[in-house]
Structure formats: structure tokens, C-alpha cells
């Protein structure tokens, strides 16, 4: 069975459909209807809830989308909903702030906003507008009530008061510690199964036994199979209890990231070494999605418009694949074969991602999309070029959205390496870039737009690394 705290109530569930989302569990099984369904795809935030987890003796509160979270992800955690905030007939300070500042209009989105504000309050000591914008980026207000919601955020963060969650923190931690992850834990319902391994060894064995199972990490992509396409997933293997695959370590010259580490956890180390990587992660969906989604999952789904693969390929990252007791290490650029096709063999999974720490090259990443935040790339570009004494020593350029897979621009790289870092070289490289890709037209962008944007991003890299105002005036404005 799985065990978790629903607020302060210990729940033990052994007969639930593994395809059941937390949203439907709350509304249909527990009659907690404060959590709303808006889009069922993780875009609107109306279903936002908070999961609290014991991390080294402290409670970590994170907002997640209940519509994309399967019930198996609750094991060993505390689930907090909007109904749980009120205490002894008194509104929680975040709820009171929304009322005081008139932040609720039609009210449908309000529970999700309140839960995002609750998580924000738990993770900050004072009001910061940028941090608030990040916390609320995954919540959509159709009544355009953002100004009073920001005022509510300011009030709740500046006038923080100890609440009943703080008062029971020690008790909650003790109760969560008592829920020990056990080997061979599984949940079964409607003749469907989800297995919850606690180690990579158990995971490898389970996957060998059930090669037809779907691996479930954050589920922010896989859950759409259920919520949007109305398919059933008969077998799942949930990775969230495999602690080894959630670890992030740094050794001499290398960052090792477990494939099941949430993107939120990846941010600090990647942004420290590669600020542009951090900037892109800020635009990677919403905070709720980043709290769930994993770097390994973003690679494994083999999307041609996944945001992280072009950056990782440009940085010469590698992935460690495991099948049973066997492992192999391959360059990430060799992982992708064709649209949604990879080199992974039956029962083989991504165990970790290895990213080199910076060398003499200058790394920059660019994402072009219709919306600034929470949108899919039309073109994603990553460039890692080493220049010494005005000459290009090495170049690794990778693009997403330009082909069926995230891919290096080999002709462009050849046009750069060994050449002087000049305007003429850049223009020759832009011409060569046209030989690397034959992009498609779709509702996000035409093929001509994608090609021109990719070339202009290389020009942008040149401008940013040379600060050449004449080039900016004479060349780029002609191509915008």
C-alpha cells in the first residue's frame, strides 16, 4: 500500500487505480472539491496543491499541479489542500490577504493562487516581486486580477505569522519519517499496477520483469496520456522513491545529476556554472511543473522541442544508461535517433546525466517562443564556442525545433573552427547553418522564420561576445 498524510490524517491506500490523479482523488474519493480542474494539462494552476516532504529534518513545501500528479507520488509526503489552511474558524494569512486585497473575482482560480502563495510564504522571508512572479507564473487568472493578487502576495509575505503547520512541524516530520519506503511497495487497482522501487537495483530488476511498463518520474508529460488522450497505463514504475536517482553531486570537472532529480533541484548548480542555463530553466514551464518534472524525463521523452537537450548537447553532456546490472555511458547527442526514437534498449533507463563544468569556451543559450514564460520553443539554440587570440578554437552549436531531434549544427561548426572571430566568419557560418537543417512549418512558426531566427541567434551570440556596435547596426537590424 501507499501511505501519506492528507493534512494531518494518515491515509493508507491499497486499492486505487494507478492512473488516478491527485486532483480526482481529492474531488471524487475524498470529497475535497476546493481544488479545481481547469485545463487538466498543467497550464492554468487551478488545481495547485502543496506537497510537504521531510528533507534532512526540515519540511520542504512545494506547489504542484494535482491534475498531472498520480496518487503514487504521494507516498511518504504530506498533501495540503486549500481546505486545510483554515484553522479554528480563522482564515490562513494567505487566504486573508486575498480577501483583504480583493484578489478573488470569479473565484474559480483562487484556490490555486492561494496554494501557490502558501508555498511562496513558506519558502521566503520577505516579499520579492521577481520571486512572486515566478511562484505565480503557473497560475492563470481569467479575470485579469493580477494587481490585487500581487498585493495579496506582498501582504502575506511581509506579515508572516506562525501558523498551525509550523506548530505541528515536528510532529509532522516524525509521522513522515515513520512512513518508511519499503521494497516491493506497489499500488493496484482496476487490474493496473504501479511499482515503487527504493533503489536503482530494485528499479533495474522491476524493469527487467516488466519491460512494457512506463517509467514515471515527475509525470508532467506522461500524465497527459491519461488526462488529455484518455488512455490507460496498465503498468507504471514510479522513480520518486529512488533516492540515488535524485542526487546531484559535483566532482572535479563534472556535475552528476540523477535522472529523477526535479528541475527545481537542478537549478542552483546549473545556474551557478552556466547562468544562461539557469535563465532558461526560469522559462521552462511553470514552478509547479519544475517542482515535478525531471531532467531525465525531459531527455527521455525525445521531444524535438525539449528545452534542455540542445543546451546539454552543446555542453558535451553524457547520459549513463542502465539495463539490469550493466551500464553504458554515451554522449547525449548520440542518444537521439529520429523523432521520438532513441538508442535505449528494452528495460534500459537513464540513470544519470553528466555535465562538464565550464572550460575556456563561452556558453550562451536562447529560447524563442510566442510567450516569454510557460511556452514551447519555436527555436531553442545553445552555443559553446572557444575563442583564443581572435580565432575560433572549438565550437559546439545545438538547436531544438529545427529538426526531428535536437541536433548539432555540424556544417556551421566547421565554418567557424579555425577561422578568425569576425563578421565575415559569422556570415559564412550563417550560410552553412542553412545546410544543417530543413525545419518544418507549423502553428508555432514557419520554416523560413525558424531558419532566419537560428541564423540571427548566431549573430546575436557574436554581438554579445564582441560588443560590436557597428555590426549590430549594419547587419542585425537588416535581419530582424
pLDDT tens digits, one per residue of 259-284:
999 999 999 999 999 999 999 998 88
Q: For position 471, what pLDDT does the model report?
A: 40
Q: For position 479, what pLDDT does the model report?
A: 40
Q: How far apart are CA 283 and CA 279, in angstroms?
A: 7
Q: For position 41, what pLDDT does the model report?
A: 94
Q: For position 361, what pLDDT does the model report?
A: 95
* Interval 330-351 mean pLDDT: 97
Q: For position 462, what pLDDT does the model report?
A: 96
Q: For position 65, what pLDDT does the model report?
A: 98
Cell of 418: 579555425
Q: What is the mean pLDDT of the chain?
A: 94
pLDDT tens digits, one per residue of 113-128:
999 999 999 999 999 9
Q: How far apart are CA 46 and CA 43, in angstroms?
A: 9
Q: How far apart are CA 258 and CA 294, in angstroms?
A: 9
Q: Compute CA distances 448 → 88, 379, 403, 451, 480, whole Å.
A: 61, 12, 13, 5, 13
User: Is the model more confident about 370 or about 476?
Assistant: 370
Q: For position 276, what pLDDT does the model report?
A: 96
> Is the pLDDT score of 148 beyond 60?
yes
* Interval 235-241 mean pLDDT: 97
- Determine the straight-line distance between the first and last CA of the chain, rounded to whole angstroms: 58
**Could you tell me what percent of the chain has a pLDDT over 70?**
97
The radius of gyration computed from the CA coordinates of the chain, to the nearest angstrom, equals 24
pLDDT tens digits, one per residue of 424-457:
999 999 999 999 999 999 988 999 999 999 999 9
* Interval 155-180 mean pLDDT: 94
- List Cβ neighbours of 275 (8 Å cut-off, separation of 6 or more): none
Residue labelled with grid coordinates 503498468: 235
> Is the pLDDT score of 463 beyond 80?
yes
Show the beta-strand stretches assigned E in 82-217.
Answer: 185-189, 192-196, 214-216
Residue labelled with grid coordinates 532529480: 261
Q: How far apart are CA 26 and CA 32, in angstroms?
A: 5
Q: For position 469, what pLDDT does the model report?
A: 47
Q: Give the torsion sign (CA, 118, 123, 125, 127).
A: negative
Residue from 475, 322, 316, 437 nearest 383 by CA: 316
Cell of 373: 514564460
> Is the pLDDT score of 475 beyond 50?
no
Other C-beta atoms closer than 10 Å to the C-beta of 268 total: 10
> Is the pLDDT score of 145 beyond 90?
no
Confidence of residue 374 (pLDDT cuts 50, 70, 90): confident
Q: Compute CA distances 190 → 10, 14, 232, 234, 235, whole Å.
A: 23, 12, 11, 9, 11
pLDDT tens digits, one per residue of 24-73:
999 999 999 999 999 999 999 999 999 999 999 999 999 999 999 999 99
Residue from 266, 363, 347, 239 nearest 311 by CA: 363
* Interval 149-174 mean pLDDT: 95
Q: Are strands 192-196 and 235-238 parallel, antiparallel or unpaired?
A: parallel
DSSP per-residue letters across 7-61: TTEEEEESS--TT-BHHHIIIIIS---SS--SSSSSSS-TTEEEEEEEETTEEEE
Q: For position 467, what pLDDT does the model report?
A: 67
Q: Compute CA distances 95 → 114, 319, 452, whole Å.
A: 6, 45, 48
Q: Compute CA distances 98 → 93, 123, 271, 298, whole Å.
A: 9, 18, 33, 35
Other C-beta atoms closer than 10 Å to the C-beta of 343 total: 13
Q: For position 472, what pLDDT does the model report?
A: 40
* Interval 178-203 mean pLDDT: 91
Q: DSSP 3-state assignment of 381? A: strand
Q: For position 161, what pLDDT does the model report?
A: 86
> Is the pLDDT score of 474 beyond 50?
no
Is there a contact between 172 and 5 (Cβ–Cβ < 8 Å)? yes
Confidence of residue 147 (pLDDT cuts 50, 70, 90): very high
Residue labelled with grid coordinates 573552427: 417
Q: How far apart are CA 426 and CA 101, in angstroms?
A: 53
Q: For position 473, what pLDDT does the model report?
A: 39
* Interval 89-111 mean pLDDT: 95
> Is the pLDDT score of 470 beyond 70?
no
pLDDT tens digits, one per residue of 191-211:
999 999 999 999 999 999 999
Provide the CB-side half-sphere exposure for 480 (13 A, CA).
7
> Which of the listed ranges 66-80, 132-146, 362-376 does the model predict with the highest average pLDDT?
66-80
Amino acid at each position: 500500500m501507499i501511505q501519506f498524510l492528507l493534512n494531518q490524517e494518515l491515509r493508507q491506500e491499497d486499492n486505487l487505480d494507478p492512473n488516478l490523479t491527485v486532483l480526482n482523488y481529492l474531488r471524487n474519493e475524498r470529497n475535497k472539491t476546493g481544488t479545481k480542474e481547469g485545463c487538466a494539462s498543467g497550464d492554468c494552476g487551478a488545481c495547485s496543491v502543496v506537497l510537504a516532504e521531510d528533507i534532512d529534518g526540515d519540511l520542504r513545501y512545494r506547489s504542484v499541479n494535482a491534475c498531472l500528479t498520480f496518487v503514487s507520488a504521494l507516498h511518504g509526503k504530506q498533501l495540503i489542500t486549500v481546505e486545510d489552511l483554515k484553522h479554528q474558524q480563522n482564515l490562513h494569512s494567505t487566504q486573508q490577504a486575498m480577501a483583504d486585497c480583493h484578489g478573488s473575482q470569479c473565484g474559480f482560480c483562487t484556490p490555486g493562487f492561494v496554494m501557490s502563495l502558501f508555498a511562496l510564504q513558506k519558502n521566503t522571508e520577505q516579499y520579492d516581486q521577481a520571486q512572486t512572479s515566478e511562484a505565480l507564473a503557473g497560475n492563470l487568472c481569467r479575470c485579469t486580477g493580477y494587481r490585487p493578487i500581487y498585493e495579496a502576495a506582498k501582504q502575506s509575505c511581509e506579515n508572516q505569522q506562525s501558523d498551525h503547520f509550523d506548530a505541528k512541524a515536528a510532529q509532522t516530520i516524525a509521522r513522515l519519517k515513520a512512513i518508511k519506503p519499503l521494497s516491493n511497495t506497489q499500488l493496484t487497482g482496476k487490474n493496473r499496477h504501479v511499482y515503487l522501487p527504493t533503489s536503482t537495483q530494485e528499479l533495474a530488476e522491476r524493469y527487467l520483469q516488466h519491460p512494457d511498463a512506463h517509467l514515471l518520474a515527475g509525470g508532467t508529460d506522461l500524465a497527459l496520456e491519461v488526462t488529455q488522450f484518455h488512455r490507460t497505463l496498465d503498468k507504471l514504475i514510479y522513480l520518486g522513491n529512488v533516492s540515488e536517482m535524485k542526487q546531484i553531486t559535483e566532482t572535479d570537472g563534472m556535475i552528476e545529476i540523477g535522472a529523477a532529480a526535479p528541475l527545481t533541484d537542478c537549478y542552483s548548480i546549473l545556474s551557478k556554472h552556466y547562468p544562461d542555463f539557469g535563465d532558461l530553466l526560469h522559462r521552462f514551464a511553470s514552478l509547479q511543473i519544475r517542482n515535478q518534472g525531471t531532467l531525465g524525463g525531459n531527455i527521455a521523452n525525445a521531444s524535438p522541442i525539449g528545452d534542455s537537450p540542445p543546451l546539454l548537447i552543446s555542453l558535451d553532456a553524457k547520459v549513463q544508461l542502465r539495463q539490469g546490472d550493466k551500464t553504458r555511458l554515451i554522449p547525449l547527442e548520440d542518444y537521439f535517433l529520429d523523432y521520438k526514437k532513441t538508442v535505449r534498449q528494452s528495460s534500459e533507463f537513464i540513470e544519470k546525466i553528466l555535465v562538464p563544468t565550464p572550460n575556456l569556451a563561452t556558453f550562451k543559450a536562447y529560447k524563442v517562443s510566442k510567450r516569454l514564460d510557460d511556452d514551447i520553443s519555436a527555436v531553442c539554440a545553445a552555443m559553446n564556442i572557444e575563442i583564443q587570440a581572435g580565432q575560433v578554437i572549438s565550437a559546439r552549436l545545438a538547436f531544438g525545433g529545427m529538426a526531428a531531434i535536437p541536433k548539432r549544427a555540424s556544417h556551421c561548426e566547421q565554418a567557424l573552427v579555425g577561422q578568425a572571430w569576425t563578421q565575415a566568419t559569422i556570415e559564412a557560418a550563417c550560410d552553412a547553418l542553412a545546410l544543417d537543417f530543413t525545419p518544418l512549418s507549423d502553428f508555432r512558426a514557419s520554416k523560413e522564420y525558424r531558419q532566419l531566427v537560428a541564423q540571427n541567434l548566431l549573430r546575436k551570440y557574436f554581438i554579445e561576445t564582441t560588443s560590436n556596435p557597428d555590426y549590430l547596426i549594419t547587419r542585425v537590424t537588416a535581419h530582424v
